[in-house]
Chains A and B, each alone.
Chain A
């Protein structure tokens, strides 16, 4: 193993153990693990499957969320080397899987163990036929071991019962994530991979767990559910793309949505104005597809307006002075700042997102 590769492996494991310390999200964690597995070895795709107490393997994560790849892993979870590996509890290879797995030449499966029990499989696809090189096989085994440990981190109760609970939770989380991907794909016109990326971005930018955010997006905001979300959770009111032609219709949707959350008519007018200014800004100065996400969390309404442009210059500060004293300040931002309790602008290569908070 080369030195740079050793360092990469060490870095990855440090990252894994960091993830395990905090209140971790199992889908997010397994996704990272699959991505790192591809980066650290010579394989082209990696997937994590866990046994589901109901005696079958279920796909929990894959290195890319492309629908095609996810489906290939699902087929492999039904029969083939992954199932053999799970049953026999040792690494298994199908060195010439071309006929079955379109686009790939070989499938390698490594058992994920917890103490003496096999609880799942790490599955690797390669575009070259034949066995895995020894160094790659070693790395894959290490990644599989970390997966097992992650499932029962720091809880010392009866591990079989814990495993049943944790696995069930993992599988439910996966379903919730798929449902949320569907919602985002439809409302923002994204493919499934881009929808997953957007879901992660939104979870990170709001500092919340991926599966909680996914459940909130999937749950929406429908009566007879009360407008106030349960503790620690949010209610997602609206997810929309923004266009000049659709602005007035969208304003009406915002007004209806926030009225349900108890704003008085003057508050509705003020909040809608602030969001409108941000959307108009995004249309005028932004780039690529523009979008709005509106949600309620911990006693406040939030609106995030985003685009896919290059973003604001580094160190940009939100103006607090009136625009008539500073002609260089866009009127919209000043207004937003006057109306909302908090305004935050986040710029990255993926685009610029302006988030405003309005206390209820």
Chain B
């Protein structure tokens, strides 16, 4: 199972470094040879953006610059939902793209920045910025490994909002379409944003001791409905 390889990787990272997101980020910097530092900015809502983690003064500057300027790879990753891989900040492409940020980041000591969105569909938790002092791409398997760290961070951040839940466990965030469909349905049933529905679904699966896929299937097949009473009971 090829697909399982990534899932295993995420489960392993969550088990080894969770439940503390900062510890996971520390490990990311330590494990990836092409990465010299990392920063994580929480971007759940426009006024709620704040820097959650930085590994060193350079990454702190990178995060602060972007929040202040409103431009940079982190902002772009957030709005587009795509990884922004700026392998050479001195390159004219990025100089033009972020006229202020690219110069300031170079001055701060970053030659390359890779921004990975922490998104699950329309649910946007934040962005991880990885930087390296010298320009250069994330070689070979390093991008896959970095994306596994990003997925592990998503697991931990979702679990944090759910007291008593075991982050990831043997059941990391499912990739099955049925889970996303059920998320949409429950969001409509309760009239609440999808980010909150993730927690409800996971809490319910945890309480009922059934798999997330199985629970989602019950919702999609209309054998299970969420009502406002469930919401009150859980919050």
Contact = CB atoms under 8 A, between A and B. Distances in A.
A interacts with B: yes
Interface of A: 51-59, 67, 70-71, 74, 77-79, 83, 86-87, 157-158, 160-161, 164-166, 168-169, 172, 174-176, 178-187, 192, 215, 218-220, 222, 224-226, 230, 239
Contacts of A172: 81-82, 117, 119, 121
Given A56-B5, A169-B81, A220-B187, A176 B46 contact: no
Given A59-B177, A224-B46, A78 B3 contact: yes
A175 B187 CA distance: 15
B183 interface: yes
Interface string B120-163: 11100000000000000100000110011001000000000000
Contacts of A161: 85, 87, 137
Interface stretch (B11-19, B29-37, B189-197): B189-197
Interface of B: 1-7, 9, 45-48, 79-85, 87, 93, 117, 119-122, 137, 143-144, 147-148, 151, 175-178, 180-189, 192-194, 220
A179 B122 contact: yes
Given A169-B82, A218-B121, A185 B184 contact: yes
Contacts of A175: 120-121, 180
B144 A55 contact: yes
A209 B6 CA distance: 30
Contacts of B143: 53, 164
A178 B45 contact: no
B204 to A, nearest CB: 16
Given A164-B85, A172-B121, A179 B46 contact: no
Given A53-B147, A165-B84, 18 more contacts: A56-B1, A56-B2, A56-B5, A56-B7, A70-B177, A74-B176, A78-B3, A83-B1, A161-B85, A168-B82, A172-B121, A175-B120, A178-B177, A179-B122, A179-B187, A182-B186, A222-B193, A230-B79
A259 B7 CA distance: 45
A161 B46 CA distance: 29
B187 A54 contact: no
A77 B3 contact: yes
Contacts of A52: 6
Given A53-B144, A56-B2, A67-B178, A182 B122 contact: no
B180 A179 contact: yes
A182 B193 contact: no
Contacts of B46: 224-226
B188 A186 contact: yes
Contacts of A79: 1
Contacts of A166: 82
B220 A192 contact: yes
Contact of B184 (A59, A67, A179, A226): A179
A169 B48 CA distance: 25
Contact of B177 (A74, A157, A183): A74
B193 A220 contact: yes
Given A56-B4, A74-B176, A83-B2, A183 B187 contact: yes
Contacts of B144: 53-55
Contact of A224 (B48, B137, B192): B48
A192 B3 CA distance: 25
Contacts of B1: 56, 78-79, 83
A220 to B, nearest CB: 6
Nearest to A192: B181
Contacts of B180: 175, 178-179, 182
B82 A222 contact: no
A178 B220 CA distance: 11
B85 A179 contact: no
Contacts of A87: 2
Question: Which has the most chain A C-beta neighbours within 10 Å: B4, B137, B181?
Answer: B181
A71 B178 contact: yes
Given A179-B122, A186-B189, A57 B182 contact: no
Contacts of B188: 182-183, 186-187, 239
Given A79-B1, A218-B121, A218-B122, A183 B81 contact: no
Given A53-B144, A77-B3, A182-B184, A224 B45 contact: yes
Contacts of A157: 93
A58 B187 contact: no
Contact of B185 (A53, A176, A182, A215): A182
B6 A56 contact: yes
B121 A54 contact: no
Nearest to A162: B85
A338 to B, nearest CB: 33
Nearest to B195: A222
**What are the 8 tightest A-B residue pairs by CB atom distance, in nearest-first order?**
A182-B184, A56-B3, A178-B180, A54-B6, A175-B121, A186-B188, A218-B122, A182-B181
Contacts of B189: 186
Contact of A219 (B6, B80, B122): B122
A274 to B, nearest CB: 25
A283 to B, nearest CB: 23
Nearest to A215: B122
